[in-house]
Structure 1
Amino acid sequence: MRRYLKWFAVLTTIGMIFVLLGGALVTKTGSGMGCGRSWPLCHGQIIPENITLETIIELAHRVVSGGVGLLVLILAIWSYKAIGHKRETKFLAILSIFFLVLQGLIGAAAVIWGQSDFVLALHFGISLISFAAVFLLTLLIFEVDQKFDADRIVIDKRMRFHIIAITIYSYFVVYTGALVRHTKSSLVCRDWPLCINTDPALPSNMYEWIQMGHRVAAGLIFIWIAYVTWMAIRQYQHQKVLYWGWIIAFVLTLSQVIAGALVIITQLNLAIALLHAFFITCLFGLLCYFILLVVRSNYNQRQSMD
């Protein structure tokens, strides 16, 4: 039975990645209104008569999101029954369902009533939390915590601070990136890394500020993760999950920065833009796993003091 649960968890995690990339695809191709102001139907029909590329993209995203939503619900219930004895299972199961439903409602509201770009930018981040919850459930099902001796891991205060702060800050970086897409600010600065345009001074309008704000935020998290990776290499060689975890985090962040630059250089190449979304999805999932390790470490220290 546990073997089937593992396969199902992997399938659901992959499905959540497709939901995130599908949402990014809808935004990047301007397909949000591909089904008009109708939801959950498309132009008031199950199968619309006038089908455009935008309609196909939007309708496919709705179908995939609905199907994966059902998978997440089944996984949450199945996980609770199979590994409910693990402390984090119930919380992660509820989290995965709640935020998946929330992102669906925001998407529906955007279609029916419309939303500001600043509200729509939350959509990707909300889906990201649901993905992270599903991803962590999958790791618990595979008993990754036991393989890496997570029950005995000890994380000092400085590393705990960096893990929590970087994870929170990464969510802000995700929001600024989503805001760039929703405000169509991706190419307002056609140079990289600076926004030269006609005047090398400060950005001159809201769109340039949004674009450069995201670049600055992304640059800061790159430097921050590079620093913490250096810390982990020096101080956590004996705890391989943190040692290799931060190395992977740095590689993902570097890939994210390179993909972001290539998005500008290639004038919004769709494949690279989706890779950009994929890298941040993986990075956020990894950072959330570090949060799980911090919780485990705090629990272990309290237990040892009792």
Structure 2
Amino acid sequence: MQQSKYMKWFAVGATVGMLLILLGGALVTKTDSGLGCGRHWPGCNGSLIPTEITKEVLIEFSHRVVTGAVSIFIVILTFWTWRKLGHVREVKFLGFLAIFFLVAQALIGAAQVLWGQGDFILALHFGISLISFAAVLLLTLIVFEVDQKFDADEISIGNPLKWHTIGITIYSYFVVYTGALVRHTDSSLICPDWPLCYNKDPFNLPDNMYEWVQMGHRFAVLIFFIWMLIILIHAVKHYKEQRVIYWGWITAFILVVLQIVAGLFVITTGLDLIVSLFHSLFISLLFGLLCYMILLVSRSEYNKRNR
């Protein structure tokens, strides 16, 4: 029991740490601190520890330190859960995902510092980190499930919700990518109005790449919102008896609304840093929750095959 308690605290720490990596990476991007340490990695401006501290150096170097420290946490958590909870079907796969995509995002970050990368490649960086965060989050939820008498056998998800869950999770990743592309192409404030680029001229199509990137993201978010609303209505109507599904989709829809509101305020406040970080936080939590819904779908399918 004591060991279980330690594992829970360690898992929570790893999850929070992974969230800090995500937000730290967003902070680096939003403050243009990616070259705070120059073209040096893992060192900073020619030395292992920076000797001259500027805002950009502090942000970039702190992000590297946090990433390194949290990476150790995640590796330990992965092997710990493999050893103690290896009998749980999803544990080994999630551990592999957590480490693989954590390494992948670190390599992309290093490549950007050393050689530079195009905007369309850089936009993948946040999404890759997001997969690692989701894997660590699910590992943590599994650690807590073991002692909470969560009965996976009671989960039963019908085909409509099953395919909606899979589809919306994949689509959410596309929405994340379009949002990252907006930032990396410096298209965040290209449109002065919201929800249209120019509200006074609603039929005017974007006339340059930056407007297309910005409005493409907004259109993708609109589809995302409508789709999530459809899923919410379906879940509320048919899954009241399965609380984890019922409340899960209600929470997911609330996060979508918060994400859209944060996106609006990002524009109206002229890229306020705190608002921008909340924008990243809400989509990170939402993607993690959608991945948990995928896990529940997987369990439901497993249960059906083994009845």
SS in 1 for 2:53: coil
Report the residue type matching 2:195 in the other structure. P
Deviation of 1:198 (Å): 8.6
Matching residue of 1:298? 301
What is the 5 A alignment of 1:1-306?
1-143=3-145, 147-196=149-198, 200=202, 201-304=204-307
Deviation of 1:7 (Å): 0.2
2-side partners of 1:276 and 1:63: how far apart?
23
Deviation of 1:147 (Å): 4.1
Q: TM-score, normalized by length of structure 1?
A: 0.97
Whether the aligned pair in 2 keeps the contact of 1:139 and 1:145 (CA below 8 Å) is no
How many residues of Structure 1 are paired with residues of Structure 2 in the alignment?
A: 304
Whether the aligned pair in 2 keeps the contact of 1:189 and 1:197 (CA below 8 Å) is no
1-side partners of 2:232 and 2:18: how far apart?
28
Alpha-carbon spacing, 1:147–1:258, altered in 2? closer, same or farther (3 Å)? farther
2-side partners of 1:17 and 1:219: how far apart?
26
Report the residue type matching 1:272 in the other structure. V
2-side partners of 1:49 and 1:138: how far apart?
38
Whether the aligned pair in 2 keeps the contact of 1:153 and 1:239 (CA below 8 Å) is yes
Across the aligned residues of Structure 1 and Structure 2, the Cα RMSD in angstroms comes to 1.3
Report the residue type matching 1:189 in the other structure. C
Deviation of 1:199 (Å): 5.7
Report the residue type matching 2:252 in the other structure. A
1-side partners of 2:8 and 2:269: how far apart?
39
Report the residue type matching 1:70 in the other structure. I
Among all aligned residue pairs of Structure 1 and Structure 2, give the percentage whose two residues are the same amino acid: 62
2-side partners of 1:146 and 1:231: how far apart?
27
**5+ residue gaps in structure 2?**
none
2-side partners of 1:132 and 1:287: how far apart?
9
Q: TM-score, normalized by length of structure 2?
A: 0.97
Deviation of 1:238 (Å): 0.7
**5+ residue gaps in structure 1?**
none
1:20-39 per-residue CA deviation (whole Å, 9 max, x = no partner) reads 00000000000001000000
Alpha-carbon spacing, 1:229–1:199, altered in 2? closer, same or farther (3 Å)? closer
Report the residue type matching 2:25 in the other structure. G
2-side partners of 1:130 and 1:142: how far apart?
19
